[in-house]
Amino acid sequence: MSNRRYDPKIHHRRSIRLKGYDYSLPGTYFATIVVQDRVCLFGHCEKNRMRLNEVGRMVAEEWEDLPRRFSDLELGPFVVMPNHIHGLIDLVGNVGAPFVCVGARADHDPASGGEVSTLTRRATTRVAPTLGSVVGAFKSLTTVQYIRGVRTRGWIPFRGRLWQRNYFEEIVWDDEALERIDDYILENPENWPNDPENPMTAGRRHGGTGRGAPCVGARTGHDQVSGS
């Protein structure tokens, strides 16, 4: 692995969605989804490795399960970090082809203190998925699982919502960009001390003590960086 640290060409904190671009078109997309308030719920980085706790393992399992829910989708490398997930998503099917998805409706849950999508686990026939529909389904599925964990396993309640409303993406245009992003994903745990989503980093960047949103959750888990 290289010693590359924070790369502003990849790890920017703004949407770069192209106006008028059809995000249901077949192609490869790099997505980043961040926990609300950047609270570290999924584990911790130790010795340049990501150690997932129970919540982090749930998030990884739901991500890995996306191709079963969207038949025109394949996953590339991904990594669950303490408070976000990076992953490569390939939309490979023909536009307009049927696929299996999960319907959802907005609801309110007092256990979480916020909004949750109540899933109706049924197959529906629609046009090919967009990147936004895939990310939306992932957020809904993990939110429902997290609220179940709050009720039954003592997981820490979140404030308002589990995930930030938005997400960040980049269209992968060529093999050079794909290789660069592959490396970035695989090296993300070792770069955690300088990660803009790290609450300690954010605190220092704004002239504080580094005491940003807390990194909470059990300090136990398994190594996690998934290849393609």
pLDDT digits (tens, 9 = 90+) for 35-85: 999 999 999 999 999 999 999 999 999 999 999 999 899 999 999 999 999
For residue 90, list its beta bridge partners. 28, 74
- Within-domain flag for 191: yes
Q: Does residue 169 sit within a domain?
A: yes
Write the CB contacts of 217 (distance below 8 Å, at least 6 apart in sequence).
40, 41, 42, 43, 44, 53, 55, 56, 82, 156
In a domain, 47, yes or no: yes
Residue 186 lies in a domain: yes
pLDDT at 32 > cutoff 70: yes
Give Cα 113 to chain centroid, integer Å. 21
Residue 160 per-residue DSSP state: B
The helix/strand count (H/E) of the chain reads as 5, 9
CATH of the domain at 212: 3.30.70.1290
Residues spanned by the domain of 142: 27-223
Task: Provide the number of structural domains found in the chain.
Answer: 1
Residue 127 burial (C-beta neighbours within 10 Å; 0-12, 13-18, 19+): middle
Question: Is residue 82 in a domain?
Answer: yes
Q: What percent of the chain has pLDDT over 90?
A: 58
pTM: 0.72
Taking only the tens place, the pLDDT of each residue in 182-207 is: 999 999 999 999 999 999 876 554 44
Residue 17 has pLDDT above 60, yes or no: no
Q: Is residue 2 one of the residues assigned to a domain? A: no
Per the domain annotation, does 179 fall within a domain?
yes
Q: Which of residues 192 and 110 earns the better pLDDT score?
A: 192
Per-residue pLDDT at 221: 42
How distant is the alpha carbon of residue 190 from its chain centre? 18
Residue 8, domain member (yes or no): no
